[in-house]
Structure 1
Amino acid sequence: MFDPIQNLEALDLSNNKLKSLDFLAKVNLTKLSWLDLSQNELTMINVSVFSFLPALKYVNMADNPFTCDCTNSDFQQWMLNNNQTQLVFAHSYTCGFPLAKKGTRFLDFDYHSCWVDASFICYISSTCVIVLTLLTSFTYHFLRLHLLYAYYLFLAFLYDAKERKRGSPQRYDAFISYNVHDELWVCREMLPVLEGEQGWRLCLHHRDFLPGKPIIENITDAIYGSRKIICVISHHYLESEWCSREMQMASYRLFDEQKDVLILVFLEDIPAHQLSPYYHMRRLVKRHTYLSWTQAGQHPGLFWQNLRRALDTPHADLDLNE
């Protein structure tokens, strides 16, 4: 229909119930400058059709039920940024869809939200959550001991630097690390001998920890404020979180200072597999200060004598590479 009139300059297609302008992409109206598309049923505009009308200067699209969503964002940007073609009555264009926006101005629709790809954001967010979950699970399962070691080593470094700056002497001969279930043995058996008979200055958490101070700081002060650390080991001790931290902090001091400051006292016969978390430490110190209450038998005096020798022994250098 348009082939014989390629010199057409004005075209009135108003009130024709047009639903699309795609047919304009097939015409060769290079001189068309005025186009009336008012009072049709245009909802979505494909702006690429205007590239086939290079001479177009005026367009009237009033009274069309435009869709005000991201599918028409290109048309809105073309309306605002096009410097060649003037849209007549553009500020009067209203939305026909969706129903929630019906009657509002087409130019009031915020097309900037269309630049955000919600599905892509959901994909990235879910991927990050999955990766973070996997990393957290991997770290907890395989690296938690290393991270805990680094944390306590950092605390030990801070404490050691603070104490060197203050020049504070060690207040106790030994810090007793024990579980609350073994407190009766510590109070009835150990304290009367070590403090009463032998005269050592001992630090016990239920008696000497400063009230109101964080537990980890009390533990650090006690371990670094004592010449030796005596760990009273039992099944309850191995199952205790705080006892485990005391043991770790003591072992960190041993590795940090490379001095024989740790004394292990076993109240019970414990299979080697239950000591696996402390296997390296047990192998390191059993040659020097490993004591067993169960093996004392009928000769407890020899047990206390050996413990006294261990407390009285100056710090010996350790070969931690063995």
Structure 2
Amino acid sequence: MLNNNYFSYSDHLIEPPFTHLKSLETLAIYNQGHKGMLNIPSNFLEGLTSLQEFMAGNLNLNSLDSKTFSYTPRLQILDLRRNELTMVSPKVFMPLQRLSTLSMPSIGLQSLDFLMQANLTEIQYLQVSRNALAVINQTMISSLTKLMYIDLQGNTFSCDCSNSWFVDWAIKNNDTQVLNADQLTCNYPSNLRGNKLIELDFESCTVDQGFYYFILTTILVLLTMLSSILHHFLKWQVVYAYYRLLAFLYDNNQQRKKGDSSGVQYDAFISYNTHDELWVMSELIPQVEGEQGWRLCLHHRDFQPGKPIMENIVDGIYSSRKTICVISRHYLESEWCSREIQVASFRLFDEKKDVLILVFLENIPAHQLSPYYRMRKLIKKRTYISWPKPGEDTRVFWQKLRVALETKGTSEEESLILSGLRRI
């Protein structure tokens, strides 16, 4: 018992005072003069390998070295009351895995998180009264698995939802005694200062679990419905938007929106069904590429191997000045052809240019086009020409296709040309 003396030390001791007291179990050094010790040297307790109790209250300590208790692995009771340890590092307490009683009243503590971080699972008695603790959280209390007694009197509790769990726990738990829990008072907010913490109504802080599940279920149902609607009505718009985003990331989107012709590789992208491939190969390509000298983008020849089909379609359409859709009944029934004309029509809407040419290989009555409402809408507004009937002269058809391919997309020029093409 070395209380009420005038100890004063530097930061590190050349000859620690207790080096040879290996059997000492209790050490008390309370009240070391008016100025106090201010600090405990890092090797002050060196040699006290059997120490079980250490009383170091009212020393005016303002810090503890992380190695202070590295020499006392058997310490079970630690009293640091009435010091100025506002902030305590968890490293200081990590060597004290047998600590069962910790007294730290009146030292200015603002948080007990260091107990959790130091993994002090053996603590049974915790005295932290008259500090500046505002919130006692569940995680910290749950980490003290053997806690039997806790003294929190005289702290500056915050009376809001952050302490609702602690109040509920203090009332209902049967394992830990919260000393005078019914006397703990509020400090914040100012209008509740002095009120009993345990008497406050925290019902508004508790979300009814059933209502919570109802909200989650409702959101899930709405998202499912929205996904179904988008898939049914806007499937290809979403696909198109996705590939447009990819194009933007690759810095191609800006050129396309500006109508920059430097990225154009083909005069026309040919969209057709495999059932009409014979006409494309024997009639369209020899005339348009061979006779007229246009460069066409074709699936079998110009698509990049290994690249996703939809990405090839988008790239082919946007790297061509025009898109020629070879329309037949088979074309209308084709899913891939539907995707191609969809992307082409989006480009038409995006760039405000007549980039779409519809070529009808057969006469399709309006009532048969009714399921293909997009096609009917395009026919009313866009360039379209029809392949002549067997025996009729095809020269006018090829001339009109040339004119359609030659248009640059200016609104006045198109309006004059299209008025003639739609009558064919």
Task: Measure, in 1, the Cα distance between the counterparts of 2:244 and 2:180.
Answer: 71
Q: Residue 254 of structure 2 aligns to which amino acid in structure 1?
A: A
Cα deviation, residue 125, structure 1: 4.5
* Contact 1:265/1:290 (<8 A) preserved: yes
Matching of residue 173 in structure 1 with residue 267 in structure 2: yes
Q: Residue 314 of structure 1 aligns to which amino acid in structure 2?
A: K
Task: Measure, in 2, the Cα distance between the counterparts of 1:265 and 1:277.
Answer: 15
Matching of residue 160 in structure 1 with residue 250 in structure 2: no
* Contact 2:388/2:394 (<8 A) preserved: no
Secondary structure in structure 1 of the residue aligned to 2:372: helix
Cα deviation, residue 130, structure 1: 2.4
Task: Measure, in 1, the Cα distance between the counterparts of 2:289 and 2:328.
Answer: 22
From the two aligned structures, give the one with the greater helix fraction: 1
Q: Residue 321 of structure 2 aligns to which amino acid in structure 1?
A: R
**Aligned with 1:282 (options 374, 379, 396):** 379
Aligned to 2:179: 83
Cα deviation, residue 208, structure 1: 0.9
Secondary structure in structure 1 of the residue aligned to 2:321: strand
1:79–1:172 Cα change, 3 Å = closer
Cα deviation, residue 276, structure 1: 0.9
1:167–1:134 Cα change, 3 Å = closer
Matching of residue 140 in structure 1 with residue 248 in structure 2: no
Cα deviation, residue 209, structure 1: 0.8
Cα deviation, residue 260, structure 1: 1.9
Aligned to 2:333: 239
Task: Measure, in 2, the Cα distance between the counterparts of 1:237 and 1:218.
Answer: 19
* Contact 2:264/2:320 (<8 A) preserved: yes
Single out whichever of 166-175 and 215-224 deviates more from structure 2. Answer: 166-175
Structure 1 unaligned residues grouped into runs of 5+ = 1-72, 86-114
Aligned to 2:63: none
CA RMSD of aligned residues (A): 3.5
Between the two proteins, the alignment pairs up a number of residues equal to 216
Q: Residue 283 of structure 1 aligns to which amino acid in structure 2?
A: K
Per the normalisation by structure 2, the TM-score is 0.44
Secondary structure in structure 2 of the residue aligned to 1:173: strand
Task: Measure, in 1, the Cα distance between the counterparts of 2:342 and 2:397.
Answer: 25
Instruction: Output aligned runs, 1:67-146, within 5 Å.
Output: 77-83=173-179, 123-144=214-235
Cα deviation, residue 239, structure 1: 2.2
Q: Residue 138 of structure 1 aligns to which amino acid in structure 2?
A: I
Task: Measure, in 2, the Cα distance between the counterparts of 1:236 and 1:81.
Answer: 82
* Percent pairwise identity: 53
**Aligned with 2:324 (options 213, 222, 230):** 230
Bigger RCO of structures 1 and 2 (CA < 8 A, at least 6 apart): 1
What do residues 4-57 of structure 1 show as CA deviations (whole Å, max 9, x unaligned)? xxxxxxxxxxxxxxxxxxxxxxxxxxxxxxxxxxxxxxxxxxxxxxxxxxxxxx
1:168–1:187 Cα change, 3 Å = same
**Aligned with 1:269 (options 350, 363, 367):** 363
Structure 2 unaligned residues grouped into runs of 5+ = 1-168, 182-205, 416-424
* Contact 2:236/2:342 (<8 A) preserved: no
Task: Measure, in 2, the Cα distance between the counterparts of 1:128 and 1:169.
Answer: 44
Cα deviation, residue 203, structure 1: 1.1
Instruction: Output aligned runs, 1:181-220, within 5 Å.
Output: 181-220=275-314
Per the normalisation by structure 1, the TM-score is 0.56
Aligned to 1:34: none
Aligned to 1:253: 347
Secondary structure in structure 1 of the residue aligned to 2:267: strand
